[in-house]
Amino acid sequence: MTDNNNNFGVVQLVDNLSVGGAEQLAVQIANGLAKAGKPAFIYVLRDTGPLVDRLDPDVTLRVMDIHRRQINNPFKFVVSLIAGHRKFSRQIKADNVAVVQSHLTHANFWNLLLSITGVTIGFPTIHNNQEFQYGSSGIKGHLAKIAYKLMLSKCGGVIACSDEVRSSLIKELGVNDPGEKLITVTNGVDIPEKISEQLRNKVRAGFSLTPETLVVLGAGRLTFQKNFSVLVDAAKIVKEKVPDVKFVIGGEGELRADLETQVARLNLEGTVFLPGNIMNLSEMMQSADLFALPSKYEGLPLVLLEAMASGLPAVGSSIKGTVDVIESGKNGLLTDLDDVDGLANAITELLTDKNRRMSMSVEAIETINSKFSFNSLLNKLENIYGRVSGLA
């Protein structure tokens, strides 16, 4: 561990720097710590990704090139753990790191190993209220739950991105309330600097959109969880009532081919666009008219907070996580999960009422300012790091 109690390093550990909510939050935390004059690091397990360009110059990036083998080959699994542990230990010592906050499953497992062996103080982070829905079933699912129980006892703490995520983990693991070992640190974002009308039009032009076109934006991984097929179905209905509407769904994922087929089948090629990851997403958010998030489940979706911070009223599924942010009728609208007609009606209702959209835009920004600010998140994390490590 660190030799300098007054200037200890903090690592954000992620699989890679792809464009996902957890990865973006890790980058934002590291940037925030660096701007506050703290030694801040990003360790990635294997490779980098598009978010590398968003790192503050004072954040140190380490590509660990660590690969954990599958447990169904116990010998290779153990060998890979030993090799990875050795590499982590050397780097953490060299960087004078005391605290590692990890994000998502693979990184969390490594953080557990580092905590158990006393290399550092770990804070695995849970971003979803269905943490065990990622293909872990049978023996793998059972072992995953054992690992998460160990995190609660062996790590400095486990961080949940919302109270609902905290409650869901307690229920999933079947444990008594672990008190301060399972800590809620509510997701937060900054309010972006407002872009000019000229830049707005330029951003729209990049997607072949005119300044007058009504634009519905969606963003996230193209996966079962995000449920964008429902949004595409809704687009067909909305277009009949709002002919000039366009839908832009940013992101990549295993369902891209399915969504492209669906768009073609519904004759929506000129209405629904799937441009891949949108690297200027904040600018695109300020260039759209409405944000849609039809997810099947969420933790506390960072992309929704970012959209509302940009002044976008949102239409989302009435599910845990989303209902913590959207106050239906005030800063957006909620619809029943998988209700295509309800989603289409809500989108149409707001697209055809500019005054209501403008009112909801003001309320959306106020919601972020009052409940989901990034400064609040960062201050709480710094207090936790210092209090638990004893190095404040």
Please report the pLDDT score of residue 2 as a whole number: 45
Rounded mean pLDDT, 372-392 = 87
Residue pointed to by tokens 């979706």: 301
Average pLDDT for 327-356? 98
- CA–CA separation, 198 vs 88, rounded Å? 47
Give 200-214 pLDDT, tens digit per residue. 999 999 999 999 999
Say what the pLDDT of residue 20 is. 87
- This prediction has a pTM of 0.90
pLDDT at residue 136, rounded to an integer: 53
Q: Which pLDDT tens digit goes with each residue over 28-74?
A: 999 999 999 999 999 999 989 999 999 999 999 999 999 888 777 88
Average pLDDT over residues 84-107: 96
- pLDDT of amino acid 43: 98
pLDDT band at 4 (very low <50, low <70, confident <90, very high): very low
Instruction: Give CA–CA dist 150/244, Å, rounded.
Output: 54
Question: What are the C-alpha distances in Å from 261 to residues 224, 229, 233, 294, 300?
Answer: 16, 10, 12, 19, 30
Domains and their CATH numbers in the chain: 9-188+373-389 (3.40.50.2000), 197-371 (3.40.50.2000)
pLDDT averaged over the chain? 93
**From edge to edge, which strands make up the β-sheet containing 60-63?**
60-63, 40-44, 9-14, 97-103, 121-126, 158-160, 182-184
Report residue 2 as tokens: 């660190």
DSSP secondary structure letters along 118-182 = TSSEEEEEE--TTTT-SS--HHHHHHHHHHHHHHHHHSS-EEESSHHHHHHHHHHHT----GGGE
Q: With 80 as the cut, is the pLDDT of residue 131 above it?
A: no
Token code pair at residue 297: 């489940």
3-state secondary structure of 315: strand
Q: Say if CB 218 and CB 232 are below 8 A apart.
A: no
Whether residue 93 is predicted with pLDDT greater than 80 in this model: the reply is yes
pLDDT at 1: 47
71: left (phi over 0), alpha (psi -120 to 50) or beta: alpha
- Do 268 and 236 touch, CB atoms closer than 8 A? yes
Residues in the chain: 392
The owner of tokens 């201050």 is 379
pLDDT-based confidence at 113, cuts 50/70/90?
very high
Lowest mean pLDDT among 19-23, 215-219, 251-255, 272-276: 19-23
Which whole-number Å values give the CA distances from 148 to 12, 152, 268, 389, in the listed order?
Answer: 19, 7, 44, 20
pLDDT of residue 392: 52
Could you give the CA distance from residue 186 to residue 171 in angstroms, rounded to a whole number?
Answer: 19
Average pLDDT of 286-303?
A: 96
Categorize the per-residue pLDDT at 177 as very low, low, confident or very high, splitting at 50, 70 and 90.
confident
Is 126:169 a contact under the CB 8 Å cutoff?
Answer: yes
Distance between CA atoms of 264 and 163, rounded to whole angstroms? 41
Does residue 9 surpass a pLDDT of 90? Answer: yes
